[in-house]
Amino acid sequence: MARRVQRIGVFIGSHLVTGVLTALAMYGVANVSLALQVMLFEVSPQYAWILIGLIYYSWLLTLLVLPIQAGLQIWGLLHLQPTPLLITYYFQHDATTILPHRFLDPVQSRIGLITVIILLIGGLVAWPIFSFYGAFLLIARFGPLLFTLEFIILFIQGLVVGVSAVFVSYFLLASLGILILQWRRRGR
């Protein structure tokens, strides 16, 4: 009985943590223009271009890694398995062992290789930064309303108005593509 409760706790906890980190990062990515506007007025012009380049580089890396994480999370929900957090997944396993998700193995899968490359060229840092930025924006904008039903309604309205349809369709199609690739890979 205790083992079953522990498995349920790990399942719920992993999906909750990855879902919150993904949602916060998406909120931060969707509001990156606010940071650029503030930065252009606060930073001297010679450094502004460097900072803008770094922000867009990390923005792109986060946009590439979030659908992979969301696809893994949906896959885990469909199969009632805990979701691996991509930031820590490759550090949890020895290099000589076979990874639990063959789909993420960089030796056996192209998407696994792409995931490792994205994480190594900056995704390990960019995703947590955008999650932190999204959390900071939520706290700064909504403050004490964060844990109320009114906040949930305002947050959903803000996402519907603030996030473009192109971003949502990209995210959904990329997550669906990850699901299809993982389903095909599992069948082999």
The 3-state DSSP composition of the chain as helix, strand, coil percent (nearest 5) reads: 85, 0, 15
Residue 158 structure tokens = 């803000």
Q: How would you classify residue 80: left for phi > 0, otherwise alpha for psi between -120 and 50, otherwise beta?
A: left
Q: Is the pLDDT of residue 175 over 70?
A: yes
How far apart are the C-alpha atoms of 1 and 34, rounded to whole Å?
50
What is the pLDDT at residue 40?
Answer: 61
Over residues 155-171, the mean pLDDT reads 69
How far apart are the C-alpha atoms of 74 and 79, rounded to whole Å?
9
Above pLDDT 90, what percent of the chain?
Answer: 0
Q: Is the pLDDT of residue 158 over 60?
A: yes
The mean predicted confidence, pLDDT, of the chain is 78
Residue 91 structure tokens = 């550090």
How far apart are the C-alpha atoms of 14 and 95, rounded to whole Å?
23
What is the pLDDT at residue 187?
Answer: 54
- Rg of the chain over Cα atoms, rounded to whole angstroms, equals 18
What is the pLDDT at residue 101?
Answer: 77
29 and 164 in contact (C-beta within 8 Å)?
Answer: no
130 and 56 in contact (C-beta within 8 Å)?
Answer: no
How far apart are the C-alpha atoms of 147 and 152, rounded to whole Å?
8
Q: Write out pLDDT tens, residues 85-102.
A: 888 888 887 777 778 777
User: In this predicted model, which residue has the larger pLDDT, 46 or 124?
Assistant: 124
Q: Is the pLDDT of residue 38 over 70?
A: no
Q: Is the pLDDT of residue 128 over 80?
A: yes
Over residues 14-39, the mean pLDDT reads 79
One-letter amino acid at 31 equals N
Residue 99 structure tokens = 């990874």
Dihedral of CA 143/149/150/155: which sign?
positive
Over residues 15-42, the mean pLDDT reads 77
Out of 39-43, 69-73, 80-84, 110-114, pick the least confident. 39-43
Dihedral of CA 29/158/143/148: which sign?
negative
